[in-house]
């Protein structure tokens, strides 16, 4: 199979690229414009791999996307390119609308034209896998779990831009026949995640001895999914998912932000016994809550488990330990990201 991955230099995208290339008969065209959040180092060593092609392009550039599809003729597209940080979407929503909405439209329309031009057998094989988020469903009440029948109620500009992208994707499927699969995931974590996100931010703040900000009382709940498990689900959806279907990937267990941050602090107490900042939980500082902060997200992965045979392979505890160890061993990588933020 020849795959095109948009956003393949990002945190989740780069993990997917590495997984796809683990199959010796598969090849990947990675399309990424390289933003502050990209992690191209996660793809180090692939430059000489003949099955891997990188193209630095913006998905909003229709001519560039048309050209890439025509030249490389992929069998399927994984669409992961997106602006994702909720706090940034509150401060500057325009970029989220440009990439997540206009960029998705551009990619969908280009892919639909490309798909219609394919020979019948290739057209039957083609898949467009649109990767979304649990945040499009808005806040879940305690005890509530969203399913694929749940209505969309996005709260933040980020969630609204992803909801708009989902609706565009389904419209291109319904109206133009584009063979579409949609996936939704819970919060991801793992190595190479930008240190503006909660878990890596907590790790690097501990290492630097700086205050660890937690919004509000920290009781907000999220379901944390190890990134390798998420991309295993995306790949399974492309391989075995039904056209027109959607799949949810989550662990089914929610944890409060307080719980997660204290777990990170406890691991660093153990793994950095020489740290001058122990106990690291003393660095925690509660700050005013952000606008429109959803209290809880929870989605039901039962359909993915039943239809795709997917289940998370990595526990939260094991994944978190591996993640903390990775950041402990990769100081130059995260230091560079923090320096670039100014």
- Per residue in 231-261, pLDDT (tens digit) is 999 999 999 999 999 999 999 999 999 999 9
Domain carrying residue 116: 2-193+223-255+292-315
Give pLDDT tens digits for 272-309: 999 999 999 999 999 999 998 999 999 999 999 999 99
Does the residue 101 lie in any domain?
Answer: yes
Does the residue 267 lie in any domain?
Answer: no
Average the pLDDT over each of 41-50, 68-77, 205-214, 217-226 and give the range with the smallest value.
41-50
Rg (CA), the chain: 20
How are beta strands 76-79 and 2-6 bridged, if at all? parallel
Give pLDDT tens digits for 72-91: 999 999 999 999 999 999 99
Q: Which of 303, 24, 337 has the alpha carbon at shortest distance from 196?
A: 337
Does the residue 281 lie in any domain?
Answer: no
Does the residue 96 lie in any domain?
Answer: yes
Helix residue ranges, H only, the chain: 11-21, 62-72, 86-91, 94-96, 104-116, 120-125, 157-176, 198-208, 227-240, 257-271, 302-308, 316-328, 331-340
Residue numbers annotated as active site: 134-135, 158
Does the residue 189 lie in any domain?
Answer: yes
Q: Which of 128, 129, 133 has the alpha carbon at shortest distance from 163?
A: 133
Give pLDDT tens digits for 17-37: 999 999 999 999 999 999 999
Q: How many separate domains does the chain show?
A: 1
Instruction: Give pLDDT, residue 340.
Output: 80
Does the residue 177 lie in any domain?
Answer: yes
Does the residue 326 lie in any domain?
Answer: no
Residues facing residue 248 across a β-bridge: 184
pLDDT reading at 199 higher than 80: yes
CA–CA separation, 259 vs 281, rounded Å? 11
Does the residue 33 lie in any domain?
Answer: yes
pLDDT reading at 342 higher than 90: no
- The pLDDT mean for the chain works out to 97
Average pLDDT over residues 4-16: 98
Q: What is the CATH number of the domain that holds 69?
A: 3.40.50.720
pLDDT reading at 65 higher than 90: yes
Average pLDDT over residues 172-188: 98
């Amino acid at each position: 199979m020849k795959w095109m991955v948009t956003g393949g230099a990002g945190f989740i995208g780069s993990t997917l690229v590495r997984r796809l290339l683990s199959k010796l008969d598969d090849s990947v065209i990675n399309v990424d414009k390289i933003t502050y959040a990209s992690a191209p180092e996660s793809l180090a060593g692939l430059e000489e791999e003949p099955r891997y092609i990188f193209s630095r392009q913006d998905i909003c550039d229709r001519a560039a996307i048309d050209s890439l599809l025509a030249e490389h003729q992929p069998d399927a597209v994984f669409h992961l390119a997106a602006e994702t940080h909720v706090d940034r979407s509150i401060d500057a929503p325009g970029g989220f609308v440009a990439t997540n909405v206009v960029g998705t439209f551009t990619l969908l329309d280009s892919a639909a034209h490309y798909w219609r031009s394919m020979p019948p057998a290739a057209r039957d094989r083609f898949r467009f896998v649109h990767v979304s988020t649990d945040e499009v469903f808005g806040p879940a009440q305690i005890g509530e779990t969203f399913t694929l029948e749940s209505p969309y109620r996005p709260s933040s500009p980020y969630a609204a831009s992803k909801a708009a992208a989902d609706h565009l994707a389904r419209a291109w499927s319904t109206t133009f026949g584009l063979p579409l699969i949609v996936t939704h995931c819970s919060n991801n974590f793992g190595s190479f995640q930008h240190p503006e996100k909660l878990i890596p931010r907590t790790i690097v703040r501990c290492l630097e001895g700086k205050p660890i900000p937690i919004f509000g009382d920290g009781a907000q709940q999220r379901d944390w999914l190890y990134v390798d498990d998420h991309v295993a689900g995306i790949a399974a959806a492309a391989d075995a998912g039904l056209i027109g279907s959607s799949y949810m990937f989550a662990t089914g267990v929610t944890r409060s932000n307080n719980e997660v941050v204290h777990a990170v602090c406890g691991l660093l107490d153990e793994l950095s016994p020489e740290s001058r900042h122990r106990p690291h939980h003393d660095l925690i500082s509660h700050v005013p809550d952000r606008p429109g902060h959803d209290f809880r997200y929870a989605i039901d992965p039962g359909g993915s488990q039943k239809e795709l045979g997917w289940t998370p392979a990595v526990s939260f505890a094991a994944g978190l330990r591996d993640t903390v160890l990775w950041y402990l061993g990769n100081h130059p990588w995260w230091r560079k990201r923090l320096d670039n933020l100014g």
